[in-house]
Amino acid sequence: MSEGLEGVKNRVDNISTVKPILEALRTISLGSWQTALKRQRSMQTFSKNYDDILRIIGPKMKSEALTAPRKRRVDESALLQPTIVLVVGSERGLCGSYNQMLVRALKKYREKEIAEERSVAVWVLGTRLYRLLRSAKVPVVWWQPLSSTALPEYSAVHKISAAWMRAYEQYRVDEVFIMAHHYRGPGRSIVRMERVLPFASFSDELEEGQEDEEQEIFPEPIIETDPVRIYFQVAKQMATMRMYEILLNAAAAEHSTRYQLMEEASQNAERMILEMTEILQMYRREAITREMQELAAGAGLLGN
């Protein structure tokens, strides 16, 4: 009985020690989750200003201008370089099957590309995901840990985007995709892949601007710089911002998942403490009853 009582006491003490940690992680995840969504909305509002610029200069451009940046052609053997797929994982863990879902999606994508004899270079953000891919025998060309802060840093995103842009201009890269979790609500996400290079989305914006050419803009904007130069400067900024939006969206999915798991873990800890406390009280009642029986027997109040 004493061993059982001590065991229950130890379990209650251990769970009571862990419970504040779970609650702290839950609170941190909630704050990071809401901050990621807020920052993403801010980026979308900022991007809207660039969309307006593209619609203004669109009618002043020709469609062939879209290939303007790819002018420094290297030797023919370098024209068919692999497609880059950047996979955005988690650095901190405690978020369920977040990284495992990315591994499964990437393996499925690579099987399809290999079957079609296409070359794919896998880039990875996140130490935990990189380790999982190595264990799964998936070759990784480049990897980098995510920021130690709660959310990705724009400066780091800009460096990666600038490297892609240079490689694309020099025909060393044909396409760039980002595979990441897409936030769909509290604790819910799906793995989605989106192309950030070449400028497909910007071409669409340009075509929309040309279709709306008959709509008069008042006052008529004064454009002294070459529209093509403006277009590609805006496009570069938008590529970086779009990548940053994707990473913020993935961070929102990660932190919301972690929040849900920590919330469930906190509730389970509370439930276990209550259950163990009831068992502890039962042990104590049995001990008190036994002592009273022994006292009564010693006083001769109980018969044989």
* Cis? peptide before 221, omega within 30° of 0: no
* pTM (2 d.p.): 0.80
Indicate the angle between helix axes 200-211 and 2-57, nearest 10 degrees: 40
* pLDDT for 48: 86
Report the pLDDT value the prediction gives residue 76, as an integer from 0 to 100.
46
pLDDT at 63 over 60: no
Q: Write out pLDDT tens, residues 189-201.
A: 999 999 998 865 4
Rounded to the nearest 10 degrees, how much is the dihedral formed by the CA atoms of 21, 27, 32, 37?
150
pLDDT at 127 over 60: yes
pLDDT, tens only, 206-263: 444 444 444 555 566 667 777 777 888 888 888 899 999 999 999 999 999 999 999 9
| 36, 135 contact by CB (below 8 A) | no
Q: What is the pLDDT of residue 168?
A: 85
User: Which of the two residues, 19 and 82, has the higher pLDDT score?
Assistant: 19
Q: What is the pLDDT of residue 75?
A: 52
Sort residue 126 into left (φ over 0), alpha (ψ -120 to 50) or beta.
left
| CA 247/CA 63 separation, integer angstroms | 31
Domain boundaries, the chain: 25-260
The C-alpha atoms of residue 179 and residue 109 are separated, in whole angstroms, by 10
Highest mean pLDDT among 42-56, 111-125, 132-146, 211-225: 132-146
Q: Residue 109: count other Cβ atoms within 10 Å of its Cβ.
A: 18
Which of 3.40.1380.10, 1.20.1300.10, 3.30.420.40, 2.40.30.210 is the CATH number of 25-260? 3.40.1380.10
What is the pLDDT at residue 72? 52
Is the Cβ–Cβ distance between 33 and 259 less than 8 Å? yes
Angle, helices 127-135/98-115, rounded to nearest 10 degrees:
50
Q: How confident is the model at residue 119 (pLDDT cuts 50, 70, 90)?
A: confident
Average pLDDT (103-114) is 93
- Residue 188: its pLDDT value, please? 92
